[in-house]
Amino acid sequence: MGDGADAGMDAVQRRLMFEDECILVDENDNVVGHESKYNCHLMEKIESENLLHRAFSVFLFNSKYELLLQQRSATKVTFPLVWTNTCCSHPLYRESELIAENALGARNAAQRKLFDELGIPAEDVPVKEFIPLGRMLYKAPSDGKWGEHELDYLLFIIRDVKVNPNPDEVADIKYVNREQLKELLRKADAGEGGLKLSPWFRLVVDNFLFKWWDHVEKGTLKEAADMKTIHKLI
């Protein structure tokens, strides 16, 4: 299982790295195969084989229109202790998460991972309540060895939920309003307190989030959706 350089890898994260099969896609989001989570996040594989996998990013707002953020756990292989949106993961190469119609595969995966990472019960986040707003393609190194190359489905949901974070996945959580998020961005830019934001969250913030937040508050999110375009943010 990997080489000696992986010796320090957390046991839970190691198991997920080898057991989880991500969905490989081309730049137009056509499924071309599957590969282990481990290989999908090795920069040398990403660069040499141009491995691109499907992902999703959930943005969960409560009824006060505050966004739930998480800080990734210290044991995460990629981007440990980085603050990011509610939940970011991958649909797996399995029937229920490969369904393309209305992004149902990604929505099924989002419900699964919100429970795995944040302990949010499935009944609090019904699959039909996720609104797919768009897709983006990006590449981001984490450190010398690991990184991301993802075609990411951006899923919004407005629900009051019960949260019970899994410490293997999540170090901390917080709800933020717009002004609090802007303050977090300022601190990250200034390098204050070692605060870091994930590159995919930053891309969504810089390109889409605040205008989509307007739609969250107005109840017009479906009008903002554009699932035809794949925004190439590389």
Token duo for residue 227? 């699932």
Catalytic residue among 22, 35, 88, 169: 88
Catalytic residue among 21, 35, 150, 169: 150
Is residue 22 flagged as an active site residue?
A: no
Is residue 88 flagged as an active site residue?
A: yes
Return contacts of 29-34, CB within 8 angstroms, 24+ apart.
29/54, 29/135, 29/151, 29/230, 31/98, 34/93
C-beta of residue 212 within 8 angstroms of C-beta of residue 156: yes
C-alpha distance from residue 73 to each of 35, 63, 149 (Å): 24, 27, 21
DSSP string, 68-93: EEEEEPTT-SSSTT-EESSEEE--BS
Which active-site residues does the annotation give? 88, 150
